Amino acid sequence: MARRAAQFAKFRLTQLNLIPLVDTFVSIVFFALTTATVGELSPVVPGVRLPTAAVGAVALSQLTLGIGAQVTLSGHPLMSTLDAARARSNDPGQPLVIPPLFTALKASSDSIRRLKATPRDSSLDTPLAIQGDSSMHYDLLARVMQTARMAGFKNISLQVNRTGSATTVTTVPAAAGAP
């Protein structure tokens, strides 16, 4: 009997446990995906196109919104930047809107609509250029862009100085899906 068991021992079926193998492959895929995502969080994020001054068109006559110490619309002061940052929206559905800026931009968009004889609730093709100070916070920029969008402007661009020239202002279109 021992001889027979020894003879058939070579034909004994071995079990292959696939669960640890599958767990290992899942772990490798997980770490590969998370490492790839973490790699994209470097200071210059691949896939993000930052605006550069070299590709923009020189700003000519546009409606200009300046954000420095004061928020100005076409050179006319509207409010201080601190007041704009502190302003609370009076529309619960649009918490980012800055009411005094919205009023001024809405008046401008309504006058442009009257001049161009466009319908009252349509978006304007007239460009609105934002000249923001380099120290401006992104949350204020998002609120300004949302306020401009709610006032009817759909063609919003950001202006920067052209590299190598302190006097030339270049317009770079803002993202189409701006907040």
State pLDDT tens for residues 57-114.
444 456 888 888 888 888 788 888 888 888 888 888 888 889 898 999 888 888 888 8
Residues 11 and 93 in one domain: no
Residues 136 and 165 in one domain: yes
Residues 92 and 155 in one domain: yes
Residues 105 and 158 in one domain: yes
**Predicted pLDDT at 177:** 45
Q: Is residue 120 part of a domain?
A: yes
Helix (H) / strand (E) containing 156: strand 156-161
Total domain count, the chain: 2
Indicate left, alpha or beta for 152 from its phi (over 0: left) and psi (-120 to 50: alpha): left
Q: Is residue 46 part of a domain?
A: no
**Residues 43, 78 contacting (CB under 8 angstroms):** no
Residues 17 and 80 in one domain: no
**Predicted pLDDT at 3:** 78
Residues 35 and 119 in one domain: no
Q: Is residue 28 part of a domain?
A: yes
Dihedrals φ, ψ of 80, to 5°?
-80, 155
**10-17: average pLDDT:** 70
Residues 108 and 135 in one domain: yes
Residues 25 and 107 in one domain: no
**Which residues constitute the domain of residue 13?**
2-39
Q: Is residue 179 part of a domain?
A: no
Residues 81 and 167 in one domain: yes
Residues 31 and 69 in one domain: no
Out of 24-28, 48-52, 108-112, least confident range: 48-52
Q: Is residue 48 part of a domain?
A: no
Residues 154 and 129 in one domain: yes
**Predicted pLDDT at 152:** 87
Residues 114 and 60 in one domain: yes
Question: What angle (nearest 5°) sits at the alpha carbon of residue 49, between those of residues 44 and 170?
Answer: 115
Give the chain's end-to-end CA distance (angstroms, integer): 82
**Predicted pLDDT at 172:** 55
Dihedrals φ, ψ of 66, to 5°?
-100, 135
**Predicted pLDDT at 45:** 42
Q: Is residue 104 part of a domain?
A: yes
Q: Is residue 109 part of a domain?
A: yes
Q: Is residue 94 part of a domain?
A: yes
